Structure 1
């Protein structure tokens, strides 16, 4: 797989995890509320692809959802500092993103849905977190530092771009680059096409059947998580984990196996301090994928492709078109 140089205009902004913990946890609860609506208003797609968010040019957005024959969506607009709701028959509502208790945000969000005649039942408490508080009772999470959120979003802008470059080098089944509200992380997952043994579960306050669906096929995943220590980490793991996986090289200097997480990690600050951040992340993602694929005997002749294979033809076809 080729590793292009980081574009000159790409900015990888720093953001210490400890500097926005309260805001991150509040934003996490906001995304869980909206994510549960998306889960209820979309059909199940393999490995829960229907419930994840995607990056937008303004922030984070849902998929298109459906209610009573109408389409609607939601977008966390971090530029205008509002959660925007839109329907296919022209209705629009907005919920401000500002410091206030989650209980208040949840009540206003529900009112906005009712105003738009969208009625949906959700399990109104978070998953995959310790000590979950029902949204309607949550006065603990109330911080919102808009500057920190926008920096986080710009981190996602760069992570999304590089994860898509990595995904483009794989010709098999692969997920889109997705933002998962369960852990507030961004990830892309590659699949071998084989079945996997039942996943044992383990995420806090998350039913076992969730992971049984998520990991019912052999896979290798890479992503970015704004938690832990420092400035967050890029991570990589596979399921099921073949013998010797954790002992394989993880690519660039600074990448290593984290026993507590059970994953390979590459600290975000190692990326930003490197001469070519894109190449550093791609080296990590590709090295860990190759470790998983080789040890589990994936047929890489079918999967590995050069994402730049048609660049000359594409450039020639588009020359002087605009």
Structure 2
């Protein structure tokens, strides 16, 4: 693609220009994130459930499945979703305008075709109106340009956060993407006891 100019480095992504795509992409990412959540051993702070920024998009990283592993990658350059497994299996789905229900069905069909049968919790998290994934025909937008801009912004934030993280020698989270609220985050811990949770 050649050299990236400064406008692409920190792209303009006004909410009103891509709110429908954002809402759809949020649900797609929740589905993929819940696949990782369902298959991964629990790690404190829910660090086992996050996605990670890559040079092409976002990835689950390797997910255990019996003696095998697999991963799911969003590619916002070629606009596709790739599923790869440790036994050589590969499946690719185009990222294109489609309902959340259609995306869910296609992903589950492709996983099953690779002998990866995963069951997830069917309602999204951290949204005001949680429509079951297999019933969501409301969200169906995908603007390739704004999806790419969103990822380009994540690339830059990921870079800055990693430098920030490296300056701390205490307990620190990876730089990772929480799909519930579309939150790229890094957490540093002081070592001091936290206030007791009101629930005990």
Secondary structure (helix, strand or coil) at the match of 1:173 reads: coil
Work out whether 1:17 is the aligned partner of 2:2: no
In 2, the alpha carbon distance for the partners of 1:199 and 1:32 equals: 27
In 2, the alpha carbon distance for the partners of 1:65 and 1:195 equals: 32
Could you list the per-position Cα deviations for residues 203-248 of structure 1 after superposition, in whole angstroms to 9, with x for gaps in the alignment?
A: xxxxx9xxx9xxxxxxxxxxxxxxxxxxxxxxxxxxxxxxxxxxxx
In 1, the alpha carbon distance for the partners of 2:192 and 2:93 equals: 43
Which structure: larger Rg?
1
Work out whether 1:44 is the aligned partner of 2:42: yes
Report 1:85-96 matches (<5 A).
85-96=83-94
- Pick one of 172, 183, 196 that aligns with 1:185: 183
In 2, the alpha carbon distance for the partners of 1:53 and 1:180 equals: 7
CA gap of 1:11–1:47, structure 2 versus 1, over 3 A, is same
8 Å CA contact 1:50–1:63 kept in 2: the answer is: no
Report 1:191-230 matches (<5 A).
191-199=189-197
Work out whether 1:148 is the aligned partner of 2:162: no
- Show the counterpart of 1:134: 132
CA apart distance, 1:197: 3.3
- Structure 1 unaligned residues grouped into runs of 5+: 1-7, 201-207, 213-322
Secondary structure (helix, strand or coil) at the match of 1:74 reads: strand
CA apart distance, 1:194: 3.2
Work out whether 1:159 is the aligned partner of 2:120: no
Moved over 6 A (4+): none
Give the total of aligned pairs. Answer: 195
In 2, the alpha carbon distance for the partners of 1:168 and 1:121 equals: 37
CA apart distance, 1:198: 4.7
Could you list the per-position Cα deviations for residues 159-211 of structure 1 after superposition, in whole angstroms to 9, with x for gaps in the alignment?
A: 111111111111101111111100112111111123323546xxxxxxx9xxx
TM-score norm. by structure 2 comes to: 0.93
- Show the counterpart of 1:176: 174
TM-score norm. by structure 1 comes to: 0.58
- Structure 2 unaligned residues grouped into runs of 5+: none
- Show the counterpart of 1:55: 53
- Show the counterpart of 1:110: 108
- Show the counterpart of 1:290: none
Q: Which has the higher contact order (CA 8 A, sep 6+)?
A: 2
